[in-house]
Chains A and B, each alone.
Chain A
Amino acid sequence: MAISINGRDVALPDDPRVSLADLLRDDLHLTGTKIGCNQGGCGACTVLLDGARVLSCLTLAVQAEGRRVTTIEGLAEADQLHPLQAAFIAQDGFQCGYCTPGQICAAEALLRELAEGLPSYVTADITAPAPLSAEEIRERMSGNLCRCGAHPGIVAAILQVAEERAA
């Protein structure tokens, strides 16, 4: 068995202690996935596992066996920028760039969660589909820390893509 990473089958590591984040970064040199704390506290290592967001530092590589992993390197088609990547540039959704790949991967999953109508802590009426709003985005992105303070740009970028998709 193997892990499908950005569409490519990758063998499981020999050492079962290897986290998904370490597999990506150290073995596959997919260093777009960042490690900020290795404790699940910052969200920099966020990747998509079968389309849902996970913290790859708290996910053992072996847990991803037989599943689909998408990292920042696999988000876009070929040489194109993913709409979120383009929007992060357009809205200044970063400064140092270290938390950025995790923010973008989380945002991609968030848009899907919103599209599925999943509620959040700030959703006033959890019986109806959650509305698209800056506050919903802020709440749903709160697991992804940024220290440069690019939050306003990040939220604006995600809102921009959400509105483009809704249109």
Chain B
Amino acid sequence: MSRVQNAVIGSVRTVVGWLPERWLPGGSPDPLIGRHGEVGRQLGHLDGPLKVTGAARFAAEVPLEQLCHAALVHSPVARGRIATLDTRAAEAAPGVVLVLTHRTMPRLEPVPLISITNMTAVGNSALPILQDPEIRYNGQVVALVLAETPQQADFAASLIDISYDEAPARTRFEAAKPQARTPASILVERNEEAVGDAEAALRQSAFQVDAIYTTPGHNHAAIEPHAVTAAWTGDRLVLHDATQAIAPTAAALAKLFDIRREDVRVLSPFVGGGFGAKGFWDHHVLAVAAARLVRRPVRLVLSREAVFRMVGGRSPTEQRVALAAEAGGRFTALIHTGYSVMPPYGACPEQYTLGSRALYRAQNVRFGQKHLDLDVVPNTYMRAPGEAVGSFALESAVDELAHQMSMDPIELRLRNDPEVHPLSGIPFSQRALAEAYRQGAEAFGWAARNATPRTRREGEWLLGMGCATGSFPYVRMPAGAVRIRLTRDGRASVACSAQDMGMGTATVQSQHAADRLGLPLAAVSFEMGDSDLPPAPMAGGSGQTVSIVAAVAAAATKLTGELLRLAGNASPLAGLRAGEVRLQEGGLVSLADPARRDSFDAILSRAGREDITVTESAAAPLEMFKYAMQSQSANFCDLRVSAVTGEIRITRLLGVFDVGTILNPRTAASQLRGGMIMGLGMALSEEVLFDERSGRIMNAGLADYHIPAHLDIPEIDVRWTGIPDPRSPLGARGIGEIAITGVAAAIANAVFNATGTRLRDLPLTLDKLLEEEGA
């Protein structure tokens, strides 16, 4: 499939490359770009009052009659088989309604895996769920207990007596390397790429860096644990879910439980953080199956430990980056290769080399990734999959090379800033990394940095500054529809099954719809979070906003046509076609002669209509193939390191983002700061501790997996170039993920500047620093 995919994608690029721009989405810039309206205004989250009063209801908070509560039992071994299983004590415990094991679980097909080509497929794991006595990873669910109360369920789960015949498991990263797989493609890109002879160029160049960078597993650690409340009425299912993928989840459940798609309703109006974790996992299937068996609503809330054990995180990586330059700074070789874990039953490669392919021009390059098969819960996408850890390796190496060459690291980067995509030769739609660095260096006071490490000191504290580039591709999902209902009083409701994990989806889409439909913000509402609405794509790839914007724009065009048709010959606009008018100030206005206008009220009144409703899908995202569309950022860090303890404290962070139009500066700044904070956690403290002997995660809790706390967080300044992308809807490119990229490298580079010690293994903890310095 991968090789076929490479051929298909290659053909699409070729064909789209030949097509004239005007035939493509993005061929002529979105007319709303640069127009001053609701888009671009500071607007707080519209759901703020619900969230600060506790009135926002999350998936585990829907009251239902006859509700029963589930508890899970997990395997403590990585491979083997259930030898003995005794559920009698659990079944006899007070309040128990059902004990579900592989003996009693209905037989179900595997869940179709999430894919680029099938937008309704959503599974993260192809492993069977309670279908047999086999154990395939440590933490796998082996039993579910339903009881009248959560306390009764938890207690009964502790009474299930299981013994295992253990089998050898593949749990060691290093040992798996000889059997590593080399996939043909990584997402939509060909995996292995080479131009020239990078190894030879590396050997022959005046300056070179060749190093291994390692990053541990990471956990999304959204504060809301995964939860579902499932209720069947006959063969109809309602699922209250915490999900980033409402419509795909509904489709997957319909297929799995063999019911009609329209008989499944997934509701997810609020999601307590996602970051990639809130996809489709075993708990969906378990809760829905259990609820059907007992004919009662079931609530399943994962324990925090279960979130670590049965929902995958970001894979650990071991990356080689080799970089060489001639004396003038031009890169002669760039090699980025490595290993990450991706079991064959998973679906989400950690694409850590993809960012490097777009970021620099080098005469000779080589890229390629290898997958390690381990017996673990399948890893999944986590905020900026690939780029978050890939940028740590690449941007550390660039800093190392700059130091070796005694060149300013910003200067070295800009000397290798490409004019066109370095591999494909396709032009960038918009790219202003140099401008981001110019703004950032000035705002941050980069000139005050002393390029010689370990030269600035205050008492026990060594001071340092570092910078690094971040990047993330533009993604618009190849699916998605919206419905617009316009009423005679000039109000519109826009609806689709969109998700909000805290980004402000409804807020920004309301702003957009107001501008697109020519209505004041107060006249627009945005409905979402419900699979009964027209299907939106999943929230991922930082692509939800532009995907929905494109669908709303398409629906608005359709609405314009329908209104013109209704307006008829009595209209001042009679004779005009859809392309000759626009939606403005509560009506249609002639583009050529703004005096010719007809209000929505007048049009609908003459037609004897109260309202008009249209549903439309966005055009295929061909702009992604015609142009190289990539966001970039310049990250700066100022920190201090204790010369006594090695403790690293960040003083300030600055990110300057070149991400196209910023739709709402308030929500955007908040989201960008949030991404940088997650990058700070990745740099300094976050690490899934994996016991390679047992295949078990040792720190499966928020007390032991250390995400940044308030006192860890310094002053954070975020800015943007604000240059619209002429090829994307509204000129926007998505901001959910880029802010985490480059942050860890900026911090590691600042640690080097402060101490003269180069750490290439995340997280950057004081023990590693002291050990390196002692060495």
A residues engaging B (CB < 8 A)? 15, 17-18, 22, 25-26, 29-42, 44, 71-73, 76, 81, 85-86, 88-90, 92, 94-101, 104, 122, 135, 137-139, 141-155
Contacts and interface: CB of A to CB of B under 8 A. Distances in A.
B303 A33 contact: no
B595 interface: no
Interface residues of B, number: 64
A101 B304 CA distance: 19
B397 interface: no
Given A88-B48, A142-B712, A151-B713, 13 more contacts: A15-B149, A34-B223, A39-B703, A94-B45, A95-B45, A95-B273, A96-B271, A96-B501, A142-B710, A147-B275, A147-B707, A148-B273, A151-B677
Given A34-B223, A72-B53, A97-B270, A139 B710 contact: yes
B674 interface: yes
A154 B673 CA distance: 13
A138 B711 contact: yes
A19 B455 CA distance: 54
A94 B272 CA distance: 11
B216 interface: no
Nearest to A19: B151
Given A17-B151, A104-B52, A41 B701 contact: yes
A40 B704 CA distance: 12
Ranked 5 nearest A-B pairs via Cβ: A32-B54, A149-B674, A98-B272, A97-B51, A96-B502
Contacts of B666: 92
A18 B272 contact: no
B669 to A, nearest CB: 8
A18 B152 CA distance: 10
A112 B645 CA distance: 34
B674 A36 contact: no
A99 B56 CA distance: 12
Contacts of A85: 49, 52-53
B710 A96 contact: no
Which of B155, B304, B702: most chain A Cβ within 10 A?
B702
26 contacts: A35-B301, A36-B225, A37-B225, A37-B703, A41-B304, A42-B702, A72-B54, A73-B53, A89-B44, A89-B49, A92-B44, A94-B45, A94-B48, A95-B671, A96-B222, A96-B223, A97-B47, A98-B222, A104-B52, A142-B712, A147-B222, A147-B273, A148-B671, A149-B676, A150-B674, A153-B670
Given A104-B52, A147-B275, A148-B674, A96 B270 contact: yes
B61 A96 contact: no
- Chain B binding surface, main DSSP class: loop
A94 B49 CA distance: 11
Contact of B304 (A31, A38, A155): A38
B675 interface: yes
Contacts of B503: 95
B667 interface: yes
Nearest to A71: B54
Nearest to A16: B151
B224 interface: yes
A149 B151 contact: no
B297 interface: no
Interface in B458-511: 501-504
A150 B670 contact: yes
Interface of B: 44-45, 47-58, 60-61, 63, 149-152, 155, 220-225, 270-275, 301, 303-304, 501-504, 666-667, 669-671, 673-678, 701-703, 707-713, 715-716
A147 B713 contact: no
B502 A95 contact: yes
Contacts of A150: 670, 674
A151 B670 CA distance: 9
Contacts of B707: 145, 147
Nearest to B42: A92
Which of A101, A122, A148, A149: most chain B Cβ within 10 A?
A149
A41 B502 CA distance: 22
A42 B223 CA distance: 8
B502 A97 contact: yes
Which of B52, B270, B504: most chain A Cβ within 10 A?
B52
Nearest to B47: A97
Nearest to A90: B44
A101 B53 CA distance: 7
Contact of A31 (B52, B58, B222, B713): B58
A88 B52 contact: yes
A30 B63 CA distance: 11
Given A72-B53, A97-B50, A145 B151 contact: no
Given A89-B44, A95-B674, A144-B710, A32 B703 contact: no
A95 B504 contact: yes
Contacts of B709: 142-143, 145
Contacts of A44: 223
A81 B304 CA distance: 31
A37 B713 contact: no
A97 B504 contact: no
Which of A30, A35, A88: most chain B Cβ within 10 A?
A35
B412 to A, nearest CB: 30
A54 B533 CA distance: 41
B495 to A, nearest CB: 21
Contacts of B301: 35
A36 B303 contact: no
Contacts of B502: 94-97, 148
Contacts of A148: 273, 502, 670-671, 674
B391 to A, nearest CB: 18
Contacts of B51: 94, 97, 100
A42 B303 CA distance: 13
Which of B47, B54, B707, B713: most chain A Cβ within 10 A?
B54
A19 to B, nearest CB: 9
Contacts of A99: 223, 272
A37 to B, nearest CB: 4
A18 B710 contact: no
Nearest to B67: A26
A44 to B, nearest CB: 6
B304 A39 contact: yes
Contacts of B52: 72, 81, 85-86, 88-89, 94, 97, 100-101, 104
Contacts of A32: 53-55
Given A42-B223, A94-B51, A97-B56, A149 B304 contact: no
A151 B54 contact: no
Contacts of B152: 15
B710 to A, nearest CB: 4
A40 B702 CA distance: 9
Which of A86, A92, A100: most chain B Cβ within 10 A?
A92
A151 B707 CA distance: 12
Which of B47, B673, B708, B711: most chain A Cβ within 10 A?
B711
B702 A39 contact: yes
Contact of A36 (B274, B702, B715): B702
Which of A37, A138, A139: most chain B Cβ within 10 A?
A37
A123 B707 CA distance: 24
A162 B317 CA distance: 45
A122 B56 CA distance: 35
B506 to A, nearest CB: 13
Nearest to A85: B52
A142 B702 CA distance: 13
Contacts of B225: 35-37
Which of B44, B223, B303, B702: most chain A Cβ within 10 A?
B223
Contacts of B60: 25
Contacts of B47: 97
Contacts of A34: 58, 223-224, 272
Contact of A147 (B44, B50, B221): B221
